Amino acid sequence: MPIVGLLFLILMSVAHGQGGPSRPGPVVKPVDNSPAQLEAVPSGIAELKPSGNRNEPFREGVLPVTGARAGDVELLVQRRLAQQTRLALIASETRELRYNTFIFGLDDTGRNTLGGLVDAVRRGVKVKLIVDGYHLENLARNRHILQALTEIGVDVRVFNPVYRHPLSINNRNHMKSLIGTQEMVVGGRNTQNQYFSEYIDIEAHVRGSSVQDAIRHYDEVFNSPQVRAPIRTNNRVEVARARELLSGWARDFRSNLETPTRVLGTPTVVEEVRYVGDPADLATKRAAGINREIVAMIDRSRRTLEFMNPYVLMAPEVEEAVRRARSRGVRISVATNSSAATDSGLVGRAWQIKRQELIDMGVEVYETTQNYVHGKTVIRDGREVFIGSFNLDMRSFNLNLENGIFVRSRALARNLARHQARLRDTFMVRAVTPETPPARNILQRGGDCVRNGMNRLITSLVYPIL
């Protein structure tokens, strides 16, 4: 690849890191600190017996690590509950923990999590940790802490470190999961403060045999050629200091726990739950990854599709599936960030074009006015739900490793739909095409044409990696 091309890819990666804004940006207030807002959706124990209708089974065999399983799922929409569920899972596990994240900040959330992992090792728990090797705020940049973790007993790996694979800088580990032996947390939240204090996000707390599928997939990625042990450092003074920090964080973790047992909340007993994760090999991922599962889910729709996603710059395969759904009369809604609320000017420009295309297609588009949406969900026909790390963009479709769960449950779909309806009513406005555009003189119209042309040119050049 020519040097100029490589620099261009690096620039685009920095411009659009898929982790949400690294600064508060347009986010001006928390969403769920008030019980009347995000906490307004009770999970409730809603037992759903199998309907006996097998005319619409899950599509099997796409990925070797997936399968339809019974289990229970708890929606983690309240930020405090989400954080406490994660920490309680770490504190209560007695055998094995597997942790996977795109961004692992060294703020309060990151330090508390690391303290919990060190505490688990000292209790005899086997701990594995995968961090992505690129993000500027990532734990992967701190070699002293990584080495200290390794010496303490955490089995640390770095996915696709840039110093080893500079030409594949856009192939990132975008997955987020915490997996125990009997339960797991999967969804959109990175390990960083703003995902538990500012952003609109969602995860699922899952118990059942699908956890074993997640374990198998995690180990396949962990042992793949794309995952490397961190580079060692000879600075023993800094490593010793890092070990002292980790020991202090472990003490703080145990003393700050509200309860030494897991937080179960009120899960929904579901008919089927499948864990799906991308293969580490990029070619295999493109041909038979979670991307194909999303397309198949859209193609199964007959009445309604509800998307919530921070990046809606659809790959052609997804866009065509949406068009097919609209041609069948499926009502489709998209809840996302406005171009002003997104974390990249390039993404904002591309979204201005794609938004109008969706509106022209008959899709109902809802945009945040101030709060940053980071959750990634799909609800199909009020009976099937996807929750995971998959963005509706080209990067998630072609470049990044993603994971999530597909759940068949009318009760869970109903609870999630209520939650998203409340978000739309409280924090979003519907995007529409003005019926009568304001009068513009010839110079203003000429400027509009130039700006639109530049937007489309930029979008066409960078869209494949946005």
Report helix, strand or coil for 273: strand
The percent of residues in the chain predicted with pLDDT above 90, rounded, is 57
- Evaluate whether residue 446 is within a structural domain: yes
Contact criterion met (CB below 8 Å) for 118 and 246: yes
- Evaluate whether residue 453 is within a structural domain: yes
Q: What is the token pair recorded at 23?
A: 């600064």
> Who's near 347: CB < 8 A, 6+ residues apart?
15, 16, 311, 313, 339, 466
Give the CATH number for residue 412.
3.30.870.10
Contact criterion met (CB below 8 Å) for 192 and 110: yes
Q: How confident is the model at residue 437 (pLDDT cuts 50, 70, 90)?
A: low
The pTM score is: 0.82
- Evaluate whether residue 389 is within a structural domain: yes
CA 400 to chain centre: 11
Provide the domain count of the chain.
Answer: 1
Of 307 and 57, which is predicted with more confidence?
A: 307
Of 35 and 83, which is predicted with more confidence?
A: 83
- Per the structure, the complete domain to which residue 384 belongs is given by 268-465
Residue 464: per-residue pLDDT: 52
334 pairs with which residues across the strands?
307, 365
pLDDT (tens digit per residue) in 189-235 = 999 999 999 999 999 999 998 999 999 999 999 999 999 999 899 99
Of the candidates 131, 158, 290, the one whose C-alpha atom is nearest the C-alpha of residue 228 is 158
> Counting beta carbons within 10 angstroms of the beta carbon of residue 353, is it exposed (0 to 12), middle (13 to 18) or buried (19 or more)?
middle
- Evaluate whether residue 287 is within a structural domain: yes
pLDDT (tens digit per residue) in 258-274 = 653 344 446 788 889 99
- Evaluate whether residue 292 is within a structural domain: yes
Cα dist. 187→33, 118, 253, 276, 360 in Å? Answer: 20, 23, 23, 12, 31
Kindly state the average pLDDT of the residues 35-50: 32
Q: Would you mind telling me the total number of residues written for the chain in this entry?
A: 466
Contact criterion met (CB below 8 Å) for 63 and 288: yes
> Who's near 393: CB < 8 A, 6+ residues apart?
18, 311, 312, 313, 314, 315, 466
- Evaluate whether residue 436 is within a structural domain: yes
- Evaluate whether residue 329 is within a structural domain: yes
Kindly state the average pLDDT of the residues 273-294: 92
Residue 328 confidence (pLDDT) above 50? yes
Q: Quote the radius of gyration of the chain (alpha carbons, Å).
A: 22
- Evaluate whether residue 289 is within a structural domain: yes
Residue 54 confidence (pLDDT) above 50? no
